């Protein structure tokens, strides 16, 4: 074989071998990197909250009755002692035709009984007058000695009986009149649902404020204790937040709260006032049972900045449970578990190097680095199973 041909074959063979070697060489893995930096780190708990008036007065019916139509509207200003609801006694039911006929017959019977009693009373009155005049005549005859004492006593006894009969007849007349009034009342107060406006009860507001809610505007029958209208001062607002019980133990009275996405800028400031000691079970949107605790916070920002808020408005509450300045931190996505420790991949000379770290406070996005890294170190942001210690990498 000529020398030139041998050189060409050797060159081609070498090129093929180098191509095969290059094809089997591991290629750099494309990754996203993040720089270790210092800054302020805030650990928060975020939940949805709802505003409510601190002092809410629910005006309810003191007794069962007929409520007149409420003329107030939601948002109207009311003063202490102002009449807000008028409550009448319960109205009589309307009689059906049969009951109507019976009531009319009862009235007619009562009228007839009254007339009979009046006639008996007139007869008894006549007998009493005759007995009285007869007694006076017998007394004169007895004084003159024309009749005996026994005749006088019989006349006196008869006069007393006639007087007693008169009193009894007059009492029967009164009873008959009351029975007639009773029978007439059944017709008078039931005719076509006759209204009884007498003895109406005026219900007044106990405080100054605004009408927050009207439970029922139209007139009608209300039962004792049934709510009718809510009164309160919308300037005095608080925020109630239902947090997980595991998060509630991290919150203390006086914890700072930031209220965001309430409809205005900037975020409002608040302080936790009450953490209720008893929790309750609530079903989440995914159907999971959760133990939650009600936390109540006050808004401490100037009222002028949130005067558009009202009762029952939604806000996002962020409870600040820890805050630090000049904290060494990295994205939380760069961390992963190595045995029982936390670890990251540090980028050096275009290679990934495994390094164990110790972390402190942590949020959903950022974690505090206590040891293992230095400021300005580069770490792989979201390492996957293709990243190994010493593997070649390249930034995307």
Please tell me the predicted confidence (pLDDT) of residue 102. 74
Least confident of 12-16, 239-243, 311-315, 389-393: 12-16
Please tell me the predicted confidence (pLDDT) of residue 132. 82
Give residue 396's pLDDT band: very low, low, confident or very high (50, 70, 90).
confident
Least confident of 71-75, 162-166, 222-226: 162-166
Backbone angles phi, psi at 41, to 5 degrees: -125, 125
Q: Which residues pair with 358 in a beta bridge?
A: 371
Give the percent of the chain with pLDDT over 90.
Answer: 36
Q: Where are the domains of the chain?
A: 27-40+326-395, 44-53+234-324, 57-90+196-232, 97-188
Query: Which helix H or strand E contains 382, and what residues bound it?
Result: none
Instruction: Give the SS3 label for residue 26.
Output: coil
> Could you tell me which of 89, 94, 93 has the C-alpha nearest to residue 65?
89
Backbone angles phi, psi at 374, to 5 degrees: -120, 160
Q: Which residue has the higher pLDDT, 97 or 136?
A: 136
**Average pLDDT value for residue range 315-332:** 92
Least confident of 114-118, 297-301, 311-315: 114-118
Predicted confidence (pLDDT) at residue 293 exceeds the cutoff of 70 = yes
The 10 Å Cβ neighbour count of residue 377 is: 19
> In 3-state terms, the chain is what percent helix, strand and coil (to 5)?
30, 35, 30
321: number of CA atoms within 13 Å, CB side?
15
For the domain with range 44-53+234-324, which CATH number is right: 1.10.4080.10, 2.60.40.10, 2.40.30.170, 1.10.10.10?
A: 2.40.30.170
Predicted confidence (pLDDT) at residue 261 exceeds the cutoff of 80 = yes
Q: State both tokens at 9.
A: 């074959």
Question: Which pLDDT tens digit goes with each residue over 3-51?
Answer: 667 777 677 777 777 676 655 556 778 888 899 999 999 999 999 999 9
- Token pair 């009046």 is found at 118
Instruction: Give the SS3 label for residue 176.
Output: helix
Residues 242, 246, 252, 257, CA torsion sign: negative
Domain 57-90+196-232 top-level CATH class: mainly beta
- Token pair 């720089």 is found at 35
pTM: 0.63
Please tell me the predicted confidence (pLDDT) of residue 2. 63
**In angstroms, rounded to a whole number, what is the distance separating the alpha carbons of residues 206 and 226?**
17
What does the DSSP 8-state code read for residue 313? -
Q: Which residue has the higher pLDDT, 186 or 167?
A: 167
Please tell me the predicted confidence (pLDDT) of residue 189. 64
Q: Which residues pair with 369 in a beta bridge?
A: 359
Instruction: Give the SS3 label for residue 214.
Output: strand
**In angstroms, rounded to a whole number, what is the distance separating the alpha carbons of residues 19 and 27?**
14
Please tell me the predicted confidence (pLDDT) of residue 25. 55
Predicted confidence (pLDDT) at residue 205 exceeds the cutoff of 60 = yes
For the domain with range 27-40+326-395, which CATH number is right: 3.40.50.920, 3.60.15.10, 2.40.420.20, 3.30.360.10?
A: 2.40.420.20
> In this structure, are strands 393-395 and 29-31 parallel, antiparallel, or unpaired?
parallel
**Averaged confidence pLDDT in the chain:** 85
Are the CB atoms for 350 and 392 separated by under 8 Å? yes
Predicted confidence (pLDDT) at residue 328 exceeds the cutoff of 90 = yes
Which residues of 166-288 form beta strands (DSSP E)?
Answer: 201-204, 209-214, 220-222, 227-232, 237-244, 256-260, 268-275, 280-283
- Token pair 């230095």 is found at 374
Give every CB contact of residue 282 below 8 A, 6+ residues apart in sequence. Answer: 242, 289, 290, 291, 292
Predicted confidence (pLDDT) at residue 192 exceeds the cutoff of 50 = no
Predicted confidence (pLDDT) at residue 182 exceeds the cutoff of 80 = no
Q: Which residue has the higher pLDDT, 123 or 280?
A: 280
Please tell me the predicted confidence (pLDDT) of residue 193. 47
- Scanning the chain, the segments in alpha helix (DSSP H) are 3-24, 97-144, 149-188, 245-248
Please tell me the predicted confidence (pLDDT) of residue 240. 95
List of long-range contacts for 131-136, beta carbons under 8 Å, 24+ apart:
131/155, 131/158, 131/159, 131/161, 131/162, 131/163, 132/159, 132/162, 132/163, 134/158, 134/159, 135/159
Query: Which helix H or strand E contains 251, and what residues bound it?
Result: none
**Average pLDDT value for residue range 371-390:** 89
**In angstroms, rounded to a whole number, what is the distance separating the alpha carbons of residues 248 and 293?**
7
- Token pair 């005549």 is found at 137
Please tell me the predicted confidence (pLDDT) of residue 168. 82
**In angstroms, rounded to a whole number, what is the distance separating the alpha carbons of residues 278 and 173?**
70
Q: Which residue has the higher pLDDT, 357 or 21?
A: 357
343: number of CA atoms within 13 Å, CB side?
16
**Average pLDDT value for residue range 320-346:** 91
The answer to whether the bond into 266 is cis (omega within 30° of 0) is yes
* Assigned CATH for 97-188: 1.10.287
Q: State both tokens at 234.
A: 């919308």
Q: State both tokens at 16.
A: 């093929």
């Amino acid at each position: 074989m000529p020398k030139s041909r041998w050189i060409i074959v050797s060159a081609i063979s070498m090129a093929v071998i180098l191509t095969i070697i290059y094809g089997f060489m591991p290629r750099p893995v494309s990754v996203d990197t993040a720089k270790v930096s210092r800054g302020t780190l805030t650990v928060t708990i975020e939940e949805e909250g709802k505003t409510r008036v601190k002092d809410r007065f629910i005006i309810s019916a003191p007794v069962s009755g007929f409520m007149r139509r409420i003329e107030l509207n939601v948002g109207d200003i009311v003063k202490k002692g102002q009449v807000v609801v008028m409550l009448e006694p319960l109205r009589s039911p309307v009689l059906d035709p049969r009951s109507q006929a019976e009531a009319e017959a009862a009235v007619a019977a009562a009228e007839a009984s009254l007339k009979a009693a009046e006639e008996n009373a007139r007869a008894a009155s006549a007998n009493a007058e005759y007995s009285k005049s007869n007694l006076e005549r017998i007394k004169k005859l007895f004084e003159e000695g024309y009749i005996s004492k026994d005749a006088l006593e019989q006349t006196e006894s008869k006069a007393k009986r006639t007087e007693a009969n008169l009193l009894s007849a007059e009492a029967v007349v009164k009873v008959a009149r009351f029975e007639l009034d009773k029978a007439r009342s059944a017709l008078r107060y039931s005719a076509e649902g006759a209204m009884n406006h007498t003895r109406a009860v005026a219900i007044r507001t106990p405080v100054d404020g605004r009408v927050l809610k009207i439970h029922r505007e139209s007139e009608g029958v209300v039962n004792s204790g049934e709510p009718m209208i809510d009164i309160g001062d919308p300037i005095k607002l608080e925020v109630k937040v239902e947090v997980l019980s595991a998060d509630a133990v991290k919150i203390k009275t006086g914890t700072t709260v930031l209220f965001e996405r309430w409809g205005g800028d900037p975020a409002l400031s608040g302080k936790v006032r009450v953490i209720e000691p008893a929790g309750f079970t609530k079903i989440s949107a995914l159907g999971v049972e959760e133990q939650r605790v009600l936390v109540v916070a006050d808004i401490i920002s100037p009222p002028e900045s949130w005067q558009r808020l009202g009762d029952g408005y939604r806000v996002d509450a962020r409870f600040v449970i820890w805050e630090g300045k000049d904290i060494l931190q990295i994205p939380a996505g760069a961390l992963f578990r190595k045995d029982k420790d936390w670890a990251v991949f540090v980028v050096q000379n275009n290679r990934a190097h495994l390094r164990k770290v110790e972390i402190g406070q942590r949020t959903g996005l950022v974690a505090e680095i206590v040891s293992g890294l230095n400021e300005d170190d580069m770490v792989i942001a979201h390492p996957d199973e293709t990243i190994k210690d010493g593997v070649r990498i390249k930034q995307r």
